[in-house]
Structures are given as C-alpha cells and as structure tokens.
Amino acid sequence: MTSVRITSSALGQSQLVGRQIARAAIPTFCSSSQTSFHKLSPTSSSTFSINSRRPGSAAAPFSTTTAARMRDVFPARETEHIRQTPAAWPHHGYTEAEMLAVVPGHRAPETIGDRIAWRLMRICRWGMDTATGMSRDQKSDKKNPTTAIASEQPLTEAQWMTRFIFLESIAGVPGMVAGMLRHLHSIRRLKRDNGWIESLLEESYNERMHLLTFMKMCEPGWFMKLMILGAQGVYFNAMFFSYLLSPRVCHRFVGYLEEEAVHTYTRCLAEIEAGQTPAWTDPKFQVPEIAIRYWNMPEDKRTMRDLILYIRADEAGHRGVNHTLGNLDQKSDPNPFVSEYKSGREPPKPLARPAGYERNEVM
C-alpha cells in the first residue's frame, strides 16, 4: 500500500493546519468500512499517513470496526407485506462505450455570472482538498484544476472516500432546490414548466443514490454528520436565495461542480487502474447491494472501477445538462433533453458535451 509521507518542513503553515483538520476529520468521517478495507495499512508508517496505525491504537483510523461488528447504517425496515421498494426513478443505464468516452472538461467563464460561479467553485474545491487532507505531492496541476489528473502521489482509499462524501453531500442539494422553486413558480403563475422540474428532481435523486452508495461503504462519524447538517442548513438556504436571484448563475455553478465531480472520479479511475487502491482491487471487495440494484450492474461488472464508471457517467450527464440550462432562457425555454424535435432529430446528449450546448444549437 502506498503511504503518504509528509514532513513538517515540506509543508507551509496553512497546509499544516489543513492537514491537522483533515487528520482530525478523517478518523471521525468513517468509523468503519467494508471487509476489504481491513486489508489497509498494516505496513504504513509515515508520520502523517492517513492510513497508518497510531501507536497504541487498536486499529487504523479509516477502519475501526471489524466487518462482523459493522452495523448497517440505514437497514431496510422489515414489514409484514412489503418485499422491497425499487427506485422511484429507475436508472436509464449506459453502454460501456458511453461510460468510457467520458472525459474531464471545462467551460471557460464568459459572463460576470460565470466568473462568480467559477470563483465560488474554486473556494469549494479548496474546502474539498482540505477536507481530503491532500498534500502538495497529491495535488494535480492547479492551472487546469478540472482537467489535469496527474499527480506525484496517489490518494489513499480513505482520502477518496472523504472526497466522494464531501462532494455528494453537496451535489444532492441544488437539483431539489431548483426543482422545488420551479414547481412552486409553475403553480403560482399558472404556467407550464416544460420539463425542467422532473430532470432537476431526478438529478438530486441520482446524487442521493451516489451518497447512499458511499454511506454503505463508510459508517458516518461526527465530522461527516456535521458536514451533512451544514449542507442542509447552510447550503440549502444559500442555494434557495441564489436560485431566486439568478437561476442561470446557479445552473452554471452546478455545471462547474459537476466538472469537479467528473475530474475526481476520472482521477480515481486512473489510480484504481494503476493498482494504487489495493483495497478496491481486492477480489473480495464487493460494491454495495444498493448500487447493484440501482444501476442494474451486470454480474461480471461489479468492481469498484465499474461503480465509479457509472457514477462518473452520471456526473458527466449533470455537467452537460446544467451548463446547457445555464445558457437557456430560464422563463420560457423548454428542457431540450426531454423534448421531441420537429425534425425528428434525437434530443441532445449531455454526456458528450462537457461545456453543454449553446442555446442556438438546441432551441
């Protein structure tokens, strides 16, 4: 297992503070994990290695509960008559070629609103890097933050998991806020919405499935719970008022958030494929049942790599959809992704367009 070696002299003061926050956070982020994570770190020894065992402690911070003792974070409730409750929005599925064709991308900011959204996202990315406890060696090229995936050192599974949960707990909010506000607007103004509400609510549902999948692999500690509270208490309200003020900027912001998501999952895939996440390439590793059911994952395609391919494709879809919605007339344009075209052409394909479609291409 590659350990992350960092010395005090190699770090600036602010990085040290960030690392200390992350070190404090990660043990409480995940207080247990799946069986295969228990293969982590017995040989790690570096001073700041997130996966290292602390002297005198019973277990590595990322994995403090044996698989047998791990409780299901949200077990299905047994009732007398119900066998199971399938997904209300069944996943539409992807071909393997579609998933493999996803690439990181960036839409250059053009308007003042774009620049505000992009700046805000840079601040969120800083928070995400800090929460992940990324060292200088683990960072990719800062000049191309959403497209460069190469770095000197890989992230550990614990760092990836922190990053995924940080990202997904934020990503599930905007679609619900936007869908709710557009729903209320439609009722209040007695006007049709033309297909936006359903796509936005489905997006937030899909993001929640990402979060629930990762929660099945990582029992939440106090820091994670605090962050989820923060996402609901602060981020929901901020998004609510922002969407009332400028839905266009909010869609652009979500487009940039999704660029980050595609970047994160692409880099993770590269590190899985390079054998740098041994817990996830262990033959005993199993993706959670909730994920197998939701994405209808074929029996021979249930590795962590397969799961990340599905999730990355979802994020690429959100990226293309939100950048496109940010280009449309918010009051009157229909949602092109669920529309039938007069010419009989297919609706636009958001996966293939990292920067979204311009209005004149789809209206």
Can you tell me whether residue 30 is helix, strand or coil? strand
Tokens of 264: 């994160």
Nearer to Fe ion, 181 or 316 (CB): 316
Q: For the stretch 294-326, what's the b/e string if a residue is b when 16 or more beta carbons lie within 10 angstroms of its beta carbon?
A: bbebeeeebbbbbbbbbbbbbbbbbbbbbbbbb
Burial of 168 (0-12, 13-18, 19+ CB in 10 A): buried
Q: Which of 114, 207, 306, 333 binds Fe ion (CB under 5 A)?
A: 207
Q: Which of 210, 248, 251, 252 binds Fe ion (CB under 5 A)?
A: 210
Report the 10 Å Cβ neighbour count for 274.
10
Cβ at position 168, least distance to Fe ion in Å: 5
In terms of Cα–Cα distance, which of 263, 238, 249 is closest to 325? 249
Cβ at position 356, least distance to Fe ion in Å: 14
Nearer to Fe ion, 207 or 306 (CB): 207
Side chain identity, residue 124: C
Burial of 50 (0-12, 13-18, 19+ CB in 10 A): buried
Cβ at position 114, least distance to Fe ion in Å: 19
Residue 333 in the binding site for Fe ion (CB under 5 A):
no
Nearer to Fe ion, 38 or 312 (CB): 312
Cβ–Cβ < 8 Å for 107, 259: yes
Contact window for Fe ion (CB under 5 A) among 93-101, 140-148, 209-217, 220-228: 209-217
Contact window for Fe ion (CB under 5 A) among 183-191, 199-207, 284-292, 322-330: 199-207
Nearer to Fe ion, 258 or 333 (CB): 258
Q: What mask of x and - would describe binding to Fe ion in positions 341 to 360, judged by CB under 5 A?
A: --------------------
Q: What mask of x and - would describe binding to Fe ion in positions 235 to 264, judged by CB under 5 A?
A: -----------------------x--x---
Nearer to Fe ion, 77 or 92 (CB): 92
In terms of Cα–Cα distance, which of 229, 257, 226, 254 is closest to 242? 254
Cβ at position 106, least distance to Fe ion in Å: 16
Q: How many Cα atoms occupy the beta-carbon half-sphere of 45 within 13 Å?
A: 1
Residue 315 in the binding site for Fe ion (CB under 5 A):
yes
Nearer to Fe ion, 63 or 206 (CB): 206
Cβ–Cβ < 8 Å for 135, 5: no
Nearer to Fe ion, 40 or 249 (CB): 249
- Distances in Å between the Cα of 212 and the Cα atoms of 41, 165, 191 are 26, 9, 35
Cβ–Cβ < 8 Å for 199, 90: no
Q: What mask of x and - would describe binding to Fe ion in positions 153 to 192, judged by CB under 5 A?
A: ---------------x--x---------------------
Nearer to Fe ion, 258 or 271 (CB): 258
Residue 318 in the binding site for Fe ion (CB under 5 A):
yes
Q: What residues make contact with Fe ion under the rule CB under 5 A?
A: 168, 171, 207, 210, 258, 261, 315, 318
